[in-house]
Amino acid sequence: MEIETPYVLSDFDKTEAEQIEALMAAAKEPYPDPVAWLEEEIEHNVLLTTTEHLIDWGKRFSVWPNTFFPACCAFEVISAAASRFDFSRFGMEVLRPSPRQADLMLVAGTVTWKLAPALRRVYDQMAEPKWVIAMGACAISGGAFRGSYSVVPGINRIIPVDVYIPGCPPRPEGLIYGFMALHRKVAKDKLLKKG
Amino acid sequence: MTKPLSGAEIARQIGEQLSDAVTGSDETTVFVRSEDILNAARFLKENLDFDYLPSITAVDFLDHFDVIYHLRSIKNNYSVVLRTRCDNSGSPRVPSVVSLWQGADLQEREIYDLMGIYFEGHPNMKRIVLWEGYEGHPLRKDFIMDVPGGGKTT
Amino acid sequence: MGPQHPSTHGVFRMRVTFDGEVILDLEPIFGYLHRGIEKLAEHKTYLQNMPYTDRLDYLASMSNNMAYAMAVEKLAGIEVPERAEYIRVIMAELMRISSHLVGVGALFNDMGAFMTPFLYMYREREKLLDLFEMVCGQRLTYNYMRFGGVSHDIPEEFMPTLKRFIDEMPGFIDEYDQLLAENEIVLARSKGVGILPADKAINASVSGPVLRGSGVKWDLRKNNPYSIYDRFDFEIPTGSVGDVYDRYRVRVEEMRQSVRIVRQAMEQLPEGEVRTRVPTPLKPAPGEAYVCIEAPKGELGFYLVSDGSAKPYRFKIRAPSLINLTMLRDMVVGWKLADAIVTLGSIDICMGEVDR
């Protein structure tokens, strides 16, 4: 059945392809991880006042994650959100599908070059302050599929990453440990604490 | 139990209807010329009730491609394999069986995307898993890929 | 719609043309998770490819492992001991229950019962994941099957825990049915929606619960028995019309039948070896093998070509979810967007398989 449209579908395909090729060409080096806050802390020896403590407490315990779920790790996030492990205890109450309402982007699974422009777009749509967690071996470095012609060797080629959670897939407890590490980072705490 | 039919017997039956189409057979497989694949498949569907197409595959044998059709009859519970050969230089063309089995639709597009075999008569022959404008066909043996740890390989 | 959208079951994108709210055309677009497994597998040995098979349909990893192990065993002519066959069947059927729990839970999520049925079903799934962790240490991607059997024997605490689970499970399925099967909203949103007639289903090479929902009594476990399925007594549930409701009922009934099979397998489980010794690296004789099994999503097949070396020459996966998607457009044209979402949920796809 012929349908009248004001556009041609193959144009969409071409624009998508151009975006992918441009991103591939630009992503030769990984983004540096944002650790500048750590040096600043050591340099200036900042003493936090009561108000700042309060603001940090508010900030870190209501980080709302945005779901970006390509592959298998997604199911460990869902397990962590379900009743047994329940990460809403940690303030991640609402899993927001819309990036405009989220603070944290949780990338769980393999990212391919075809998906990369969508990943970049979602990251750009989030408002500051925003953080990114790379969950699972595939998001950190391409994982078991590194070397494939279509897999991005680590999402830090496309967006800067704050916390890396290793595992294939990481257990829900691992994910929660990653969240706690993020909380410490958000609260400007020293991440190099022992234990 | 699904009975795999004898390749020689099916080859004989196809040969009676379509002379020259069959180029050989073995225990379970019938080898057909690539131009005649649509007619042979139609014969099998209409006369022997092969109403189900579980899978279409293509293999790169360095000097030619083989396209392999696994056929099954749900009504009578038997199966056969149809196989055709095509040239692997440039852009080889094989008639599409989408008009007989709609299940061939996405599988033929995938073979086109990854192997480069063009299926004539397919209503929507474009890439499916890789993006438009991608150069090359990855599953071909001459496609070079970086492996981890450095070095390149096919 | 998509690729990042809560109702798309993974990174699946649909280009939909509307007239008001009625769908005129739908084009499914995927490839967002194409990892090149078929190409990568040609550079690794047969055993190194086992973890890749886990990541195809990641909700039913044991089934994928089993299909691949069977394909290599056919290629290389390896026998599997009895005890290993029984363990494989138990794992495969538990996997079927687990996958259908997620499938049905996600379907209800799409229908609007936001998270409640999903979380209830997840409660059972956590028990299953504990069982799997007892056996092989992993919750999601198991890598448990080996060529010639399974990687190691089941521990002592497995059988009592499994018995407790199997005794409780029918009660839970009844509980879900009580809450959901006759619910007005469920009936309104799923009866008559997404109809797939039987002849079109066969023509489109659809398999699994989608095919059986359309009334075609075809299940590889009965029609082409593999492993030891011919020793068990079970039914094949079928639908009548081929709508979303039928597919949901087929999945629930299959869960009941899986419980039945596991119970019989537990009773018949013999003692013995769990693995035949095979040389490593395995070098099968040159040849080809196509093996298909009834995975939870449909007919999962592996086509392997060997050239005598330790690495497969061609590693092809016949993915059920990809082929079941062929009919999405035909089922949905003329309906509204909400119906399209529910229909997609009822086909129960897993993007790891569709894209490989």
Q: Tell me: the pLDDT tens digits for C51-109?
A: 888 888 888 888 999 999 999 998 888 888 989 999 999 999 999 998 898 888 888 87
In this complex, the chains that touch B, judged by 3 or more CB pairs closer than 8 A, are: A, C
Q: Is B102 helix (H, G, I), strand (E, B) or coil?
A: coil
User: Are the C-beta atoms of residues C181 and C256 closer than 8 Å to each other?
Assistant: no
According to the model, what pLDDT value does residue B87 have?
A: 80
According to the model, what pLDDT value does residue B116 have?
A: 85
CA nearest to A158, candidates A132, A176, A130, A178: A132
Q: How many residues are listed for chain B in this entry?
A: 154
pLDDT over 50 at C127, yes or no:
yes
Predicted ipTM of the assembly: 0.87
What mean pLDDT value characterizes chain C?
A: 85
pLDDT over 80 at C141, yes or no:
yes
CA nearest to C104, candidates C242, C261, C247: C247
Which residues of chain A lie closer than 8 angstroms to C140, CB-CB? 72, 75-76, 169
- Mean pLDDT, range C310-337, rounded to an integer: 86
Condensed to tens digits (0 to 9), the pLDDT of residues C198-248 reads: 888 888 888 888 888 888 888 888 888 888 888 888 888 888 888 888 888
In whole angstroms, how large is the CA radius of gyration of chain C?
20
| Residue B150: band (very low, low, confident or very high) from pLDDT cuts 50, 70, 90 | very low
Instruction: Tell me the backbone φ, ψ of residue B65, rounded to 5 degrees.
Output: -105, 145
According to the model, what pLDDT value does residue A53 have?
A: 59
Q: Which structural domains are found in chain A, ordered by start?
A: 65-187 (3.40.50.12280)
B133 and A14 in contact by Cβ < 8 A?
yes
Condensed to tens digits (0 to 9), the pLDDT of residues A77-125 reads: 888 777 677 766 766 666 656 667 777 888 888 888 888 888 888 888 8
In this complex, the chains that touch C, judged by 3 or more CB pairs closer than 8 A, are: A, B
| B104: contact with C, CB 8 A cutoff | yes
According to the model, what pLDDT value does residue C328 have?
A: 84
How many angstroms separate the CA atoms of A80 and A83, rounded? Answer: 8
| Residue B14: band (very low, low, confident or very high) from pLDDT cuts 50, 70, 90 | confident
pTM of the model: 0.87
Angle at A117 between CA C339 and CA A18, to 5 degrees: 105
Q: Which residue of B has its CA nearest to A114?
A: B131
A125: left (phi over 0), alpha (psi -120 to 50) or beta: alpha
In whole angstroms, how large is the CA radius of gyration of chain A?
19
The region of weakest confidence among A88-97, B18-27, C166-175 is A88-97
According to the model, what pLDDT value does residue C106 have?
A: 83
According to the model, what pLDDT value does residue A94 have?
A: 60
According to the model, what pLDDT value does residue A6 have?
A: 58
Q: How far A144 CA sits from the closest chain B CA (Å)? A: 10
Q: In angstroms, how far apart are the furthest CA atoms of chain B?
A: 56
According to the model, what pLDDT value does residue B140 have?
A: 82
DSSP sequence for chain A: -----SS-HHHHHHHHHHHHHHHHHH-SSPPPP--HHHHHHHHHTPPP-HHHHHHHHHHHTTPPEEEE--STHHHHHHHHHSTTT-GGGGT----BSSGGG-SEEEEES--BTTTHHHHHHHHHHSPSS-EEEEESHHHHH-GGGTT-TTB-S-GGGTS--SEEE-SSSPPHHHHHHHHHHHHHHHTT--TT---
Chain centroid, CA C211 distance in Å: 14
According to the model, what pLDDT value does residue A58 have?
A: 61
Higher pLDDT, B144 or C299: C299
C126 and A82 in contact by Cβ < 8 A?
yes
Which residues of chain A lie closer than 8 angstroms to B148, CB-CB? 146-147
Q: Which domain holds residue B96?
A: 3-153
| C141: contact with A, CB 8 A cutoff | yes
CA nearest to A163, candidates A193, A184, A188, A190: A184
Quick one: what percent of chain C has pLDDT higher than 70?
A: 96
How many angstroms separate the CA atoms of A92 and A64, rounded? Answer: 5
**Strand-pair category, B145-146 with B118-120:** unpaired
Condensed to tens digits (0 to 9), the pLDDT of residues C244-269 reads: 888 888 998 999 999 999 999 988 88
pLDDT over 60 at C6, yes or no:
no
| Residue C275: band (very low, low, confident or very high) from pLDDT cuts 50, 70, 90 | confident
Which residues of chain A lie closer than 8 angstroms to B131, CB-CB? 13, 16-17, 20, 113-114
How many angstroms separate the CA atoms of C5 and C307, rounded? Answer: 43
| Residue C122: band (very low, low, confident or very high) from pLDDT cuts 50, 70, 90 | confident
How many angstroms separate the CA atoms of A81 and A102, rounded? Answer: 16
According to the model, what pLDDT value does residue C191 have?
A: 79
A115 and C141 in contact by Cβ < 8 A?
no
Which residues of chain A lie closer than 8 angstroms to B143, CB-CB? 149
In this structure, the number of other CB atoms found within 10 A of the CB of residue A176 comes to: 19
User: Are the C-beta atoms of residues C171 and C255 closer than 8 Å to each other?
Assistant: no
Return the structure tokens found at A1: 């059945």
Q: Which residue of B has its CA nearest to A153?
A: B148
Pick the residue of B115, B129, B131 with the most A CBs within 10 A to test the interface with A by mutation: B131
According to the model, what pLDDT value does residue C157 have?
A: 87
Q: CATH number of the domain that B55 lies in?
A: 3.30.460.80
How many angstroms separate the CA atoms of C242 and C274, rounded? Answer: 41
User: Are the C-beta atoms of residues C284 and C197 closer than 8 Å to each other?
Assistant: no
Q: What single letter denotes the amino acid at residue C23? A: I
pLDDT over 70 at B107, yes or no:
yes
The total number of structural domains in chain B stands at 1
Return the structure tokens found at C317: 């996966």
- Among the partner-chain residues C223, C299, C327, the one whose CB lies closest to the CB of B77 is C223
In whole angstroms, how large is the CA radius of gyration of chain B?
17
- Among the partner-chain residues C17, C36, C126, the one whose CB lies closest to the CB of A145 is C36
Report the first-to-last Cα separation within chain B, whole angstroms: 40
| Residue B148: band (very low, low, confident or very high) from pLDDT cuts 50, 70, 90 | low
According to the model, what pLDDT value does residue A192 have?
A: 39
Condensed to tens digits (0 to 9), the pLDDT of residues B72-94 reads: 888 888 888 888 888 877 778 88
Which parts of chain A register pLDDT below 50? 1, 36-48, 189-195
Residues 6 or more apart in contact with residue C117 via CB below 8 angstroms:
C104, C105, C108, C109, C176, C179, C180
Higher pLDDT, B114 or C116: B114
Return the structure tokens found at B101: 């089995």
